[in-house]
Amino acid sequence: MADDTTVAVLGTGIMGAAMARNLLAAGIKVRAWNRSREKAEPLERDGAEVVDDPRDAARGAHFVLTMLADADAAEEVVGGDVLFALAEDGVWLQMSTVGEEGSGRLAEIASEHGIHYVDAPVLGTKQPAEQGQLIVLASGPEEVRERSEEIFGAVGSKTVWLGEAGEGSRLKLVVNNWIVGLLGVLAETVAFAQAIGVDPVKFLETIEGGPLGLPYARLKGSMMVEDDFPTSFSANLARKDAALVLDAAEAHELRMQITESVMARFDEAIQAGYDEEDMAAVYRAARSDRG
């Protein structure tokens, strides 16, 4: 990669800021923008240029990397002159979770602007993002694959290429449905154990290391047992991801009753004020004493 490669990072929340820092650590120039500038300003200490307008971030950049809340936010931010500001042969790395319909809509915007579009949502939350250990689910034009992989290599430990743009978002939906289902049943299992007088720690210890055990169950289950939810990925965002799964399922005439039930649990937790706590706070809605 050229020494002067510049990436415009649009969206510097928990994930975007960590990704920007890893790009800087790899020697890549970063211009950062966030709707709330104060969230981007700490990146200046790491060497990023923080700007007030996404067009200024994209001006002359080789890549624009979006890590925004949803497809509507991405469309609002880049739908004007932002993509036109990129360097010739620029690439849009759309790395947010935007769903099937959202990815298609953003791909059309890129096409209208004559910009290469790579649909590349990531697997991982705060700690993997900070450690550069995300898994990138990339899909897009073959001609920009090599260039894009160097950016992905700075923020992730593994890149899976899946074909045409949109395939990444579809696989992300499948993985997210698995995560949502696991989280929902884990929350109810911990609550059930407590309700019948079983120490949930014993449950986690029993399944650990065997075919029924998952590191994820230990991670999120420990949060539930301790009733402490430092945010790695918020309940709000997890609820959004569940809704994207259901939107895609409905478009394909599939009923997903388990996912519907877990999303209802997220709604309960969010309404109770746990919206910005970790998604494991869905446990609060499953507890028998929640009311």
Give the residue extent of every domain in the chain: 6-164, 170-286
Whole-angstrom distance, CA of residue 19 vs CA of residue 59: 20
Topology (CATH level 3) of domain 170-286: N-(1-d-carboxylethyl)-l-norvaline Dehydrogenase; domain 2 (1.10.1040)
Would you state the pLDDT for residue 4? 81
Output the CA torsion sign for 248, 253, 258, 261. positive
- Do 43 and 17 contact (CB within 8 A), yes or no? yes
Residues of the chain with pLDDT under 50: 1, 291
Q: Which of 217, 284, 251, 269 is nearest to 99 (CA)?
A: 251
Pairing of strands 122-123, 134-138: antiparallel
Would you state the pLDDT for residue 80? 80
Topology (CATH level 3) of domain 6-164: Rossmann fold (3.40.50)
Q: What is the pLDDT of residues 154-183, one digit of tens each?
A: 999 999 999 999 999 999 999 999 999 999
Whole-angstrom distance, CA of residue 194 vs CA of residue 198: 6
Would you state the pLDDT for residue 3? 61
Would you state the pLDDT for residue 77? 96
Would you state the pLDDT for residue 40? 97
Whole-angstrom distance, CA of residue 170 vs CA of residue 287: 33
pTM: 0.93
Would you state the pLDDT for residue 290? 62
Distance of CA 139 to the CA centre of its chain: 16
Instruction: Give the angle 19-22-25 at the CA atoms, nearest 5°.
Output: 155
Contacts 24+ apart (CB under 8 A), 246-253: 247/99, 247/100, 247/101, 248/99, 248/100, 248/101, 248/170, 248/173, 251/100, 251/101
